[in-house]
Structure 1
């Protein structure tokens, strides 16, 4: 994959090219409710070309029996149970029309560095709470692609690095009252380390730890044997020499030296850092991993058109069962 696409005598970034823009919000809002339903059916049941498959018994013989309100519903002839295209998925028990959810996915995918819940609530005309839960469900769907992922392989190159996020403390006004937050005595304990494992082919896996040194077992589990691992000079990575061929780069001297570099890992952190500063302003605690996984998914799929991203995300959401973390989140009765 190349960073630029040729356009005549000039070089053009992929995001500026026609290939990157295959779906617009205008096209989504021109859809009828039936069009949106058809698209969701095709995305959820590609094996049957959009024909409904019962989530209860797996039967493929179902007929349309819409509710009096007009809401979509199918009834399985085999088990006589009712279901919809969103039954048993992250969209289960949805309150908004499917077209609105499709628009939400498109808005989310079109953002390069993330989308804040407040901005999404304004775009969709929903409450902040509804937008907050919807965005976290989208991040949960993204994370499905990373479950159990192992990157690298014999002779393949993988980069690792760590960056600290969350727990920002605004400096005091007067200089004499300011504290060096690099010192442990002046830290709040809220900052956590995001560790990224990223192969040169683009696939990546993030995780969150208290410090870089706590990530060694995670790294060994997520990098295939025989991989060539690139890392900076931090002492946290010294123990990995026993498991992998290592290439180390001293960033005080250079960003790349004799083939050793962590530029792809740094690119990931650049995206996550800009998402934190420019959109979310505060990513910490139990949610930090979700934001880290979102940045990883966006970085891995940055050369995919927005139409393909929307369809991929919709597919992930329809294949993912009801959220264990955000079902009943605001009612404080989260499903087990």
Structure 2
């Protein structure tokens, strides 16, 4: 029997101890090499693009000769106006990507010895940067699976059995829980979206899935409208999980990761942030056969390429 990828040495190309022993200068060089990889790691002005910049001896910033703009290695990125040392951000990314089912903000605050609020915002900035890399604008094609899962929020069960309801039923949702609809290519990438109900996803599915695609879905009546646009094949889960080639097992694999993150890692996910966690789990699912060192560099690159967050910059000051 072949060894599972995550158990092999190929999956382990990053050591936390190596990152933790980095100096701030080494960490800045690592960020610099990724942010300005298109210029051989040499900085240029993020405002006007001028290549002629010069550094200061007293602090790690550069100044543009053309527009006189001063910038650091994280200026204009998701880490703009950072307070932690640069090395701590490298370490935080390494810790974050190593969690197969996610990493809670409370645990991250203990790992970095920082306030919970700092770790909470940092983790969400990473999720935002990771989520921005999921949709490259190309349509999904071939064999694609579609399914939905209610997640986020919380409905407290009634004390007495007679008053309890099946919380899995859409009509019994309180409005706090929303449905995460995933569109996933078999042996390919997953794209998650958040809606109030599954039928709201139909226009998005038509926009993201190429015509001529074979679509697989379960027997929910919410997917009946897909038959008009695709060769849609259905699987009745009350009879089998896979039958005659029809299944939604790839979509369920993604949902298994999201469920374990919600139940086992975070314990509770606010309905307002379920989209961020859905994107994170899709990124992890898409990168499940990628070494942790490569994942680390990809998240660094996503963070350096992402502009200042409109949601998380100044979050605790309510500036957003």
Same fold (TM over 0.5): yes
Aligned ranges for residues 185-334 of structure 1 at < 5 Å? 187-334=173-320
Tell me which residue corresponds to 1:4.
none
- The alpha carbon displacement at 1:79 in A equals 2.3
Contact 2:150 2:168 (C-alpha < 8 Å) held by counterparts: no
- The alpha carbon displacement at 1:185 in A equals 7.3
- The alpha carbon displacement at 1:180 in A equals 4.2
1:94 pairs with one of 57, 62, 82: 82
Contact 2:149 2:179 (C-alpha < 8 Å) held by counterparts: yes
Cα deviation digits, residues 211-270 of structure 1 (max 9, x gap): 111110011011111111111111111111111111111111111111111111000000
1:310 & 1:170 partners in 2: Cα distance?
38
Q: TM-score, normalised by structure 1?
A: 0.91
Contact 1:151 1:204 (C-alpha < 8 Å) held by counterparts: no
2:298 & 2:108 partners in 1: Cα distance?
20
Q: TM-score, normalised by structure 2?
A: 0.96
Tell me which residue corresponds to 2:55.
64
Tell me which residue corresponds to 2:63.
75
- The alpha carbon displacement at 1:144 in A equals 1.0
Tell me which residue corresponds to 2:28.
37
2:315 & 2:111 partners in 1: Cα distance?
22
Cα RMSD of the aligned pairs, angstroms, is 1.6
1:147 & 1:243 partners in 2: Cα distance?
22
Secondary structure of 1:136's match? helix
Q: Is 1:13 matched up with 2:4?
A: yes
Contact 1:139 1:291 (C-alpha < 8 Å) held by counterparts: yes
Which stretches in structure 1 are left out of the alignment for 5+ residues? 1-9
- Equivalent residue pairs, number: 320
Cα deviation digits, residues 110-139 of structure 1 (max 9, x gap): 000111111100100110100010011001
- The alpha carbon displacement at 1:77 in A equals 2.0
